[in-house]
Amino acid sequence: MPKQTIIDAHALEKTFITGEVKTHALRGVTFKINKGEFVAIMGPSGSGKSTLMQLLGFLDRPTSGKYFFEGQDASVFEDDDLAQIRNKKIGFVFQTFNLLPRTTVFENVEVPLLYDSNRKSKKRNRHLIERALKQVNMMYRIDYSSNQLSGGERQRVAIARALVNEPKVIFADEPTGNLDSKSGVQVMKILQQLNKEGKTVILVTHETRTAKHARRIIRLVDGKITSDAKVNHQLDANGIEELK
Ligand SMILES: Nc1ncnc2c1ncn2[C@@H]1O[C@H](COP(=O)(O)OP(=O)(O)OP(=O)(O)O)[C@@H](O)[C@H]1O
Ligand SMILES: [Mg+2]
């Protein structure tokens, strides 16, 4: 079967203007990601990784360049359409979890369902929430408040929330950044499992050992791609093969 492109970024630029200061966060970034890939985006602090994720996840728009998602030109969508596409097709996981405080695990995972334009029945919602919590092994805390959870548990709930609408793509921006190494490995295993089940996973990380869970590494420096390499798991820990 031919590989299907899900993400097609062409010459993306993003310039932030704050008062008199212009910051060129992205300076012409071009790449494609196929459905089912697991890609890590690496690069120094300030190189534009989060900015790129925001553009790809429709949280922001580029200053120039084109972005096609599933073959559709994102620039033609109104903000409301983008919000719906984001809610249905994209799951976000952040370094800081971003759960609602003093709110139960169940209610946190329910949030994307409440924003869905095609609301489902309460029973259907419960089924979807429980299924997502099972995928991250968090059913045993369904009625806990988010404040009562450990960091690793919070991140797993955040992943369940990202999954509940069955998105095609998961964007994870430093998902292990605030976790101890054991919880970090658990989170990476979940992302790997989701990828095996067919989801496209795009991960930002500065840790080489975390990036090695991916099959391809895109490096950004100063808003530009400096390398795009596939990870060869057959080789040893340093086995990163440059793509031509
Ligand atoms: N909303 C904004 N307004 C102004 N400047 C911004 C904004 N967001 C990002 N920037 C600037 O754009 C550049 C890229 O930021 P970005 O957050 O994408 O970096 P990053 O690679 O994710 O870094 P880190 O590893 O520290 O998270 C930085 O110089 C940052 O200060
Ligand atoms: Mg960042």
Q: For position 189, what pLDDT does the model report?
A: 95
Average pLDDT of the residues in 203-225: 94
Which residue has the least CA distance to atom 28 on ligand 1? 46
Residues with CB under 6 A from ligand 1: 16, 18, 23, 25, 43, 45-51
206 strand-pairing partners: none
**pTM, whole model, 2 decimals?**
0.92
Taking residue 236's Cβ as centre, other Cβ atoms within 10 Å add up to 7
pLDDT surpassing 90 at residue 244: no
Beta-strand ranges (E) seen in the chain are 5-18, 21-34, 38-42, 64-69, 72-73, 90-94, 169-173, 200-204, 216-221, 224-231, 240-242
Which residue has the least CA distance to atom 17 on ligand 1? 50
pLDDT surpassing 60 at residue 44: yes
pLDDT surpassing 50 at residue 237: no
Which residue has the least CA distance to atom 4 on ligand 1? 16
- Best probe residue, ligand 1, of 23, 56, 206 (max atoms within 8 Å of C-beta): 23
User: 184 C-alpha vs ligand 1 centroid, how far in Å?
Assistant: 24
User: 43 C-alpha vs ligand 1 centroid, how far in Å?
Assistant: 12
Which of 53-57, 84-88, 174-178 is predicted least confidently?
84-88
Q: Which atom of ligand 1 is nearest to the CA of 17?
A: 4
Q: What is the CATH number of domain 5-232?
A: 3.40.50.300
Distance CA 233, CA 212 (A): 8
C-beta separation of 211 from 40 below 8 A: yes
Which residue has the least CA distance to atom 1 on ligand 1? 16
